Amino acid sequence: MPTVKLGQTALPPDVVKMDKKTALRVGPCAIGEHALFVNSFYIKRFYYVVYSDISRVYKRVAMSKGGYTGKGVFGTMAYLIVQFKDGTEKKCNFKHEDEVDLLLGQMEKDHPEIPIHSAAAERRLKEAEEKERAEYLKELSPEAEASVKELEQAKSLLKMRPGLTEALSNSARRKRASDMTNPFYIWVAVIIFAAGIIVGVLGLILYFVVQMKGAIFMVLGGFVFMLFMMSSRVLPTKERNKAAVQKEWDDAVHSMQIFLADEKDFPLPPQYAHPVVVDRMIRAIKKGKAVTVEESLAYVKEELKGLNKTVEVSQKEYDEVTTVKPMFLLCDYQ
């Protein structure tokens, strides 16, 4: 199946084919050398758009973070928005929000000339950064300076192995969402899925055996129920069940423990070893909320405890909280 062009610029078919073959795949999309490959609603990497035609790419989140409130059947629905220089845009649906974050992170590294936030989000981020800098102390004590230096070194170490920190955050989010999913909803989803199979099979029998023409609508209805439940992400699968997500989290923590085994003075427990946590600790010291590393971690814990769905936060704060708070929740802030 040929890959369809989006935007104004076309590439030779052989270049598109090779670029697609060697591209870094992230969810239903891929980052190639010459183009970004994006999905149609059903088909992965169905379109391509050359980078010179892209004005910005960013994440859009629909529906609430059900995994953190414990309410609702559905979790977050994440989209990658690709905005073209002619003003049009392409919306790409993703099953997992962390895949959108991963793709945007890679885009930022490979193509820093392309903004990874919407124009409105960029304005809010700039305002938030200016407000944050205004809260910093003009001068830190020698002890506070030493704490910041220690944390900066820890952050540099963690950035050497981004895969470990991403695994820690992503597995924590999936485990938290799994833990907070009401078993009642799972049973409802299983029952509806089973009913869809029964209705679909019955419709096929009536259509082919009894030759009831109207039975085709039963078949379609059955498949609609099945697809609806599959897309809801409530049905347990081989990768998405309590045992699997628990193992994924345990493995992530264990891998971080191994990585930090020789760092006896590392300032964070392995289950919280993430650059975002370190950033928040540094900000706590610069704002005068803490002096030592231990005090800054305690402050970050209390700060995260106080953030819930009723608290309005900036886009940057939202992204940080959804990245690291699940790790603290799983460990009960210990």
Is 78 a domain residue? Answer: yes
Q: Are 47 and 81 in a shared domain? A: yes
In a domain, 118, yes or no: no
Alpha-carbon distance of 80 to 67, in angstroms, equals: 20
User: Are 223 and 314 in the same domain?
Assistant: no
119 lies in a domain? no
262 shares a domain with 172? yes
Rg for the chain, CA atoms, rounded: 23
Residue 67: the pLDDT is 41
pLDDT (0 to 100) of residue 183: 63
Strand order in the sheet with 77-84: 54-62, 77-84, 89-94
User: 117 lies in a domain?
Assistant: no
Inter-axis angle of helices 162-180 and 142-159, to 10 degrees?
Answer: 90
| 107 in any annotated domain | yes
Domain that holds residue 82: 4-111
- The single residue listed with the structure tokens 């704490």 is 147
My answer on whether 79 and 153 are in the same domain is no
Indicate which CATH number applies to the domain containing 25. Answer: 2.30.29
pLDDT given at position 177: 80
One domain, residues 291 and 162: yes
Query: Do 47 and 3 meet the contact criterion of CB atoms below 8 Å apart?
Result: yes
78, 111, 144 - which closes a domain: 111
Looking at the structure, do residues 201 and 290 belong to the same domain, yes or no?
no
What is the total count of domains within the chain? Answer: 3
What pLDDT is recorded for position 18? 96
Q: Classify residue 177 by its DSSP letter.
A: H
- Kindly state whether residue 84 falls inside one of the protein's structural domains: yes
Q: What is the pTM of this model?
A: 0.65
**Continuous segment of H or E residues that includes residue 154:** helix 142-159
- Decide which of 85, 111, 137 is a domain's last residue: 111
Residue 200 resides in a domain: yes
Q: How confident is the model at residue 46, as a pLDDT?
A: 94
In angstroms, rounded to a whole number, what is the distance separating the alpha carbons of residues 194 and 31?
38
Together in a domain, 100 and 176? no
Same domain, 107 and 57: yes
Q: Which of 111, 139, 170 is the last residue of a domain?
A: 111
Q: Are residues 202 and 258 in the same domain?
A: no
79 and 31, same domain (yes or no):
yes
Which residues make Cβ contacts (< 8 Å) with residue 55, sequence separation at least 6? Answer: 83, 84, 85, 114, 115
Per-residue pLDDT of the chain (334 residues; tens, 9 = 90+): 789 999 999 999 999 999 999 999 999 999 999 999 999 988 999 999 999 999 999 998 874 444 444 343 334 678 999 999 998 999 999 888 888 988 998 999 999 999 999 988 888 888 888 888 889 999 999 999 999 999 999 999 999 998 899 999 999 988 988 787 666 666 666 777 787 788 888 888 887 887 787 777 787 777 776 766 665 565 566 666 788 889 999 999 999 999 999 888 899 999 999 999 999 999 999 999 999 999 999 999 999 998 877 777 777 788 888 899 999 999 999 8
Task: Tell me, yes or no, whether 170 and 203 share the same domain.
Answer: no
Q: Domain check: are 322 and 251 in the same one?
A: yes
